[in-house]
Structure 1
Amino acid sequence: MSWLDGDDDEPDGFDAWDESDVRVRPNPKGNRPRTKVRPAHEDAVEGRVLSVDRGRYTVLVDADTPGEHTATATRARELRDQAIVTNDRVDLVGDVSGEPGTLARIVRIRPRTTLLRRSADDSDAVERVIVANADQLMIVVAAANPEPRPRLVDRYLVAAYDAGIQPLMVITKTDLADPEPFLANFAGLDIPVVRSAQGAWPVDELTPLLAGHTTVAVGHSGVGKSTLVNELVPGTDRATGVVNAVTGRGRHTSSSTVSLRVPTGGWIIDTPGVRSFGLGHVDPANVMRGFPDLAAVAEDCPRGCTHAADAPDCALDEAVERGELDPARVDSLRRLLASLARLEA
């Protein structure tokens, strides 16, 4: 009979074993109990996101101090469902020294003052945040090559006013064409306009307008936006391109959004060139904010007026008939309203 049959011939010490002697395999993810209580990170330091590249963030730490430097960071797990974008103010923990091979962690996004957004197209209500905390939008337009697009500029204006950002316009390549016919589309708007001179970039005219502001540069591919940024911030070396001689379209060159300090004061954020700027995220009721000259006239419209082309007794039509409004401006507004109205249908 063996000791397995329950006799007294067990191996020495076997009768002293119990369940507490059995070793339990540890949790491969660690034995620390899970909790929803997140650390306060009271030792976190503030930083400014300068650029985003495939899950890695270049962050400016100790800005405007002798110890100013950049650090590379990743996002904390608790922020995995939140977008972190260029010019966000964030809190960092971990190794924020910026030394090669180090990696900090973004644990908080500070409250944003503004958000410039766009959608892929007007049928897409999913917004894509371009930059945070900007207060000025610099719309760069070429007088020719590529041809200026008033409707695209209208869309920039709607997005700017919707975000509470003030616009300004820069006209490049004025040696190729007279920009005045194009600018006539926006004669009713109080927008600063800077024109490039013959063979020169308008750096001296622009720098006072940029000082003290965080400015986002946007524009159609090929208008010279990144070249202008290189002139404003020497040594930046943002990628530039040329316009296709057959299609008249510019090539996408800058592929990332980056925030740069202007030596003469302020910050400028260069964005990739686009050929479309969807407004699917914008409430149609806010579109009029992009046309303050028309909004003043529309105050005389009947209650509930849609301002569409078939709207009865619309004050916009009456102002056009009297020669007080440019029909092209009214048409631009109505195109946007019609496009956005289809989203609600």
Structure 2
Amino acid sequence: MSRSRRDWDESDVRVRPSRRGSRPRTKDRPAHADAITARVVSVDRGRWRTVVEDGPDAPREVTAMRARELGRSPVVPGDLVGLVGDTSGRDGSLARIVRIQERSSFLRRSADDDDPTERPLVANVDLMVMVTALADPEPRGGMIDRCLVAAYVAGIDALLVLTKADLRSPDDFLTTYAPLGLEHVVTERTAAGGIDGLDALRERLAGRVSVLIGHSGVGKSTLLNALVPGTDRATGHVNDVTGRGRHTSSSALAMPLPEGAGGWVIDTPGVRSFGLGHVDPDELLDAFADLADLAESCPRGCTHLEDAPDCALDEQVEAGAAGSAGPARLTSFRRLAVALRKNDPWAL
């Protein structure tokens, strides 16, 4: 006769001991005192290519994987990391990244302005090089404004490089950014196939860790191949229909500048957009330094948006106040401010 449900009690239940978590856990982690320092130069499918710059056999390339204790901490080109394991750099060898050194800077972007998810780009750079073509494709001031905001938030300097000056004069475009005191270099192709302005760019990159940012087709890879001979970064063309460049570089790559110049340069894939969804709306006005000075005349609590009552920015920018970069900058600021406030309901 079978037993009824009410005949069962807890003494009839056998509890199988779980193996999971049966080993005592500890918060202690290995110190890895023997870890050596390397610089991350590229990332590819869960493997990090690094360069060991000091010690025997330096410089040498070492391929590494991320150690479990790092969790999901992003490791990006430019990072200085600690390596253990097989750090010989021999074919087939694999080291482990066990720590990330404190960063001096961390450049990020998002997919769109209404997407607050951060996409880390590079670390430990001190100069953002914004590469823009004067023609083919057409220059976009909005991209420069976005890069300037990202550079301000990351605490790094900015340099504007205008390419293809042989197709169009840079004078009109520079009038917008001249009031900002933004350093710039103009380059153009010579009849002999060289690049005029390359020496001026080399001088500004020497001894620094720089990152090149720009739309596809603006000439980043062409500049890089000239700056670091033997790099052989693929160069592309501009679509005749869309006026946009074709992606040629698929991943960021850090390269040392030739001996004598010193420093590093990091090439990034050409981007369609540079989202600022990770930026605090309150930081935005400070990034537009030309407008921040004029905004001191605004009433307290002014949002500086187009519908803000008694906002002083419109009148001062239209009157050409000293330090103003013009109406285009004000329009760009307001467009970004509206987009970023969508991510922060309290700012609406």
Report the TM-score, using the length of structure 2 for normalisation: 0.87
Q: Deviations over 1:72-125 (max 9, x none)?
A: 100001113111111101111001010111110000011111111000001110
Distance 2:113 2:217 in 1: 23
Which residue of 1 is the match for residue 316 of structure 2? 319
Cα displacement (A) at 1:179: 2.2
Is 1:223 the counterpart of 2:214? The answer is no
Is 1:97 the counterpart of 2:92? The answer is no
Is 1:254 the counterpart of 2:245? The answer is no
Greater C-alpha radius of gyration: 1
Distance 2:46 2:65 in 1: 6
Letter in structure 1 aligned against 2:140:
R
> 1:247-326 to 2 correspondence within 5 Å?
247-263=242-258, 264-324=261-321, 325=324, 326=326
Distance 1:130 1:139 in 2: 14
Which residue of 2 is the match for residue 336 of structure 1? 336
Taking a change above 3 Å as real, the CA distance of residues 154 and 51 of structure 1, as seen in their structure-2 partners, is: same
Taking a change above 3 Å as real, the CA distance of residues 157 and 61 of structure 1, as seen in their structure-2 partners, is: same
Cα displacement (A) at 1:185: 2.1
Letter in structure 1 aligned against 2:329:
R
Distance 1:305 1:33 in 2: 58
Q: Deviations over 1:156-190 (max 9, x none)?
A: 11111111111101111111122222222212212
Q: Is the 8 A contact 1:135 1:214 kept in 2?
A: yes
Q: Is the 8 A contact 2:318 2:327 kept in 1?
A: no
Distance 1:341 1:64 in 2: 50
> 1:188-199 to 2 correspondence within 5 Å?
188-199=179-190
* SS of the residue 1:231 aligns to: helix
Distance 1:63 1:182 in 2: 44
Cα displacement (A) at 1:316: 1.2
* SS of the residue 2:343 aligns to: helix
> 1:20-59 to 2 correspondence within 5 Å?
34-59=25-50
Cα displacement (A) at 1:66: 5.9
Q: Which runs of 4+ in 1 moved over 6 A?
A: none
Q: Is the 8 A contact 1:154 1:290 kept in 2?
A: no
Is 1:78 the counterpart of 2:69? The answer is yes
Q: Deviations over 1:16-44 (max 9, x none)?
A: xxxxxxxxxxx8x9x97553321111111
Q: Deviations over 1:195-227 (max 9, x none)?
A: 013434222011110012111100001001011
Unaligned runs of 5+ in 2: 1-18
Is 1:159 the counterpart of 2:150? The answer is yes
Letter in structure 2 aligned against 1:158:
V
* SS of the residue 2:316 aligns to: helix
Is 1:211 the counterpart of 2:206? The answer is yes
Cα displacement (A) at 1:298: 1.4
* SS of the residue 2:40 aligns to: strand
Letter in structure 2 aligned against 1:107:
V
Letter in structure 1 aligned against 2:202:
T
Which residue of 2 is the match for residue 107 of structure 1? 98
* SS of the residue 1:188 aligns to: helix
Is 1:62 the counterpart of 2:53? The answer is yes
Cα displacement (A) at 1:290: 2.6
Letter in structure 2 aligned against 1:42:
A
Distance 2:287 2:337 in 1: 12
Q: Is the 8 A contact 1:309 1:334 kept in 2?
A: yes
Q: Is the 8 A contact 1:95 1:104 kept in 2?
A: yes
Q: Please say which of residues 49-58 and 281-290 is displaced more in the overlay.
A: 281-290
Cα displacement (A) at 1:59: 1.0
Q: Is the 8 A contact 1:162 1:289 kept in 2?
A: no
Distance 1:323 1:157 in 2: 22
Unaligned runs of 5+ in 1: 1-26
Cα displacement (A) at 1:246: 1.7
Letter in structure 1 aligned against 2:76:
V
Distance 2:115 2:236 in 1: 29
Q: Please say which of residues 287-296 and 262-271 is displaced more in the overlay.
A: 287-296
Q: Deviations over 1:277-300 (max 9, x none)?
A: 110000011112332111111122
Distance 2:160 2:216 in 1: 16
Which residue of 2 is the match for residue 21 of structure 1? none
Report the TM-score, using the length of structure 1 for normalisation: 0.88
Cα displacement (A) at 1:304: 1.5
Taking a change above 3 Å as real, the CA distance of residues 309 and 64 of structure 1, as seen in their structure-2 partners, is: farther
